[in-house]
Structure 1
Amino acid sequence: MRWFLTALGVLFGITLFLFLDYSLPSKQTVRITNTYNRLTDIGANAIFYASPDTGTVQNAAGQRDVRFIDTVRPNGKPYVYRNEDTGWIWPPYFKYDSSNLHAAATDRRSTAAAPEWVSITSYGWRVSWMSIYPNAISVKPVAGPDVRPFNWPAVIILLVMGALLMLIWRMWNQFRERSIDPTLVRLDARGDAARGRVSRWWKGR
């Protein structure tokens, strides 16, 4: 039984880590090289794209017109973002300005000869073989490729979640001390008394 609970705890921990890693905002310092729209096939990876509730439209072939932002990291490796509204669905970024973000990103395009570096805040993963892209939330200029803005939103969210978990843990401990533990003690006492009666009855036979 103990190994099952351990495995269940490990599985829960991995699931929680992946959930937070996907949902929490991250910041990348990059150089924007291109912005464009592209008809994209939405199939088994639909969970990693915006919900139809946000106003996105797919054609009969299951294709969606998605905005993309091509970038290059300071180490020279390419990194591609999608740019979709999130609406009121999860994650709750309440993003409705993908058109404005597209215009701002287009205005920040630059070349390797005359680079202009920006910090892009996004959520999600980049998985090339599954055509999964992180969703860009904001674009802000930075002084250079070595600038790494502190990720305050993610830290604040984690602190709030930690405080809530601590509160729940304390409430559970108080409930256990006031209700569960006394009940278990009474049950143990009744069990001891019942075993004592059975033992006396057996000896008196």
Structure 2
Amino acid sequence: RHYGWRNTFLSIYPNAVSIKPISGPNVQLIPWLNIIFLTVLAAFLWAIYVRVRGFWSRRISPMIENVDAATEKSTGRIIGWFRNK
């Protein structure tokens, strides 16, 4: 049924990490640490995305355009050679 050995003491609450008493059923817990961490992570990923996009538009795109222009120029010469013969 299960692969390997199972400890019956730990399988009573398989997903519980810790149990703490609360003052009542109307207690609302807000995970501030998770909210702050995910916000900082999203800001960090956004900053990396913006920098990569800027690098691409400043460095890579002009190089690709120059290669494309040179390719068109050399292709025109090659076609010209074959038309003259």
Same fold (TM over 0.5): yes
Identical counterparts, % of pairs? 26
Q: 2:22 aligns with which of 135, 139, 142?
A: 142
Cα distance, 1:183 vs structure 2: 1.3
Shift of the alpha carbon at 1:182? 1.1
- Pair 1:134–1:203, CA change in 2 (3 A): farther
Gaps in structure 1 of 5+ consecutive residues: 1-42, 44-61, 71-79, 81-125, 127-132
Q: Which runs of 4+ in 1 moved over 3 A?
A: none
RCO comparison, higher one (Cα < 8 Å, 6+): 1
What is the CA-CA distance between 1:149 and the residue it aligns to? 1.0
- The structure carrying a bigger strand percent of its residues is 1
2-structure distance, mates of 1:143, 1:63: 34
The answer to whether 1:175 aligns with 2:55 is yes
Identify, as 1 or 2, the structure richer in helix: 2
The number of residues matched between the two structures is 83
Task: State the Cα distance separating 1:156 from its structure 2 match.
Answer: 0.8
For residues 1-205 of structure 1, what are the structure 2 equivalents within 5 Å?
A: 43=4, 80=13, 133-136=15-18, 139=20, 141-205=21-85
Q: Distance in 2 between the 1:153 and 1:144 partners?
A: 23
Q: What TM-score, normalized to structure 2? A: 0.76
CA 1:142–1:134 in 2, change beyond 3 Å: closer, same or farther? closer
Q: Report how far residue 134 of structure 1 moved.
A: 4.0
Give the alignment's TM-score, normalised by structure 1.
0.35
Q: Distance in 2 between matches of 1:182 and 1:158?
A: 35
| Residue 142 of structure 1: how far off its partner (Å) | 3.1
